[in-house]
Amino acid sequence: METLIHVFEIDFMQRALITGLLVGVMCSFLGVYIVLRKIVFVGASLAQISSSGFALGILFGVNPFIAALVLTLIGVWIFAMNLQTKKIPQDSFLALGYIIASAGSILLLSKHPRGDADLMLLLYGNILTITPDHIYILLTALILIGGVHFLFYKEFMFIAFDPEMAETLGYRPQVWNIVFYVTVGILISLAIESAGILLVFGLLVIPPIVAIQLSDNIRHIFAIAVLTSVIAIPAGLFVSFTQDLPSGPTIIAMTVIFLMIGYIVSKARLRA
């Protein structure tokens, strides 16, 4: 039986591990904001819009990442406009974006000779085929995103959980909301190319939920969410390699195990 060390001595597994950890750390970190602000549909919609951009790029022979990023930033701008009305709430517009983008991806790729294969790649990704160049691009972007969130942590916390106080103190919640959505959009556009929609959206949602079950302290929640991804990703890659399973869904399965453990622990704490 393959050991953990032997599996990650293989070049493509090392690249998959590095990519998975980079994507997992940033997705789980930003996912805490997304889950606590109850804007999970933003992550789902932006992921699907980004996939439509990839589909456009593939169909018209342009760089898929550039096409995905441009379309995602357009989606960010639309969502940040806060189009909700008395009759139509914001989450309905987010759901609408998700539905339209999903249908668009399928329709665009249906006209491509390799449409079915490309659609499956968008959905599940192929983290095992990542090149070193893509890792460098991903690392650079994630350092920049992480730097923005480190430098402006206070601003992001204010606009996320106390926008009225933020406005009183002179911050502009609308501007910082746009900055936040832009960082999420860039992350999703980059991550989907390597990891696929399923894994990216799963890492945005499940580790933060695990953390929220285990702690009420916001700093601890961030730390636990990131730690969940850091453990689940190598575990999922190892199981997928040794059992010949698709990597993305296997990593998600690992996070679900943590989700169940978190649920059990939280219930035990309530009874104690």
- Residue 36 in domain: yes
Of the candidates 184, 219, 220, the one whose C-alpha atom is nearest the C-alpha of residue 73 is: 184
Whether residue 49 lies inside any domain: the answer is: yes
Q: Tokens for 20, please give them.
A: 């998975």
Give domain status of residue 272, yes or no: no
CATH at residue 202: 1.10.3470.10
Residue 16 forms part of a structural domain: yes
* d(C-alpha 204, C-alpha 35), whole Å: 8
What span, in angstroms and rounded, lies between the C-alpha atoms of 147 and 145? 5
251 domain-assigned: yes
Confirm if 36 and 208 have CB atoms less than 8 A apart: yes
- pLDDT of the chain along its 272 residues, tens only? 457 778 888 888 999 999 999 999 999 999 999 888 888 877 778 887 887 787 777 777 777 778 888 888 888 777 766 655 556 666 676 777 777 777 777 776 676 666 555 556 666 667 777 888 888 888 998 899 999 999 998 888 887 777 777 777 777 777 888 888 888 888 888 887 778 788 888 999 999 999 999 998 999 999 999 999 999 999 999 999 999 888 888 999 999 999 999 999 888 877 76
Question: First vs last Cα of the chain: how many Å apart?
Answer: 41
Residue 12 counted as domain residue: yes
Query: Residue 271 domain-assigned?
Result: no
How many domains does one find in the chain? 1
Domain with 180 in it: 4-266
Nearest in space to 188 (alpha carbons), one of 91, 251, 101, 85? 101
Q: Residue 17 has which token pair?
A: 């591990």
Query: Does 174 reside within a domain?
Result: yes
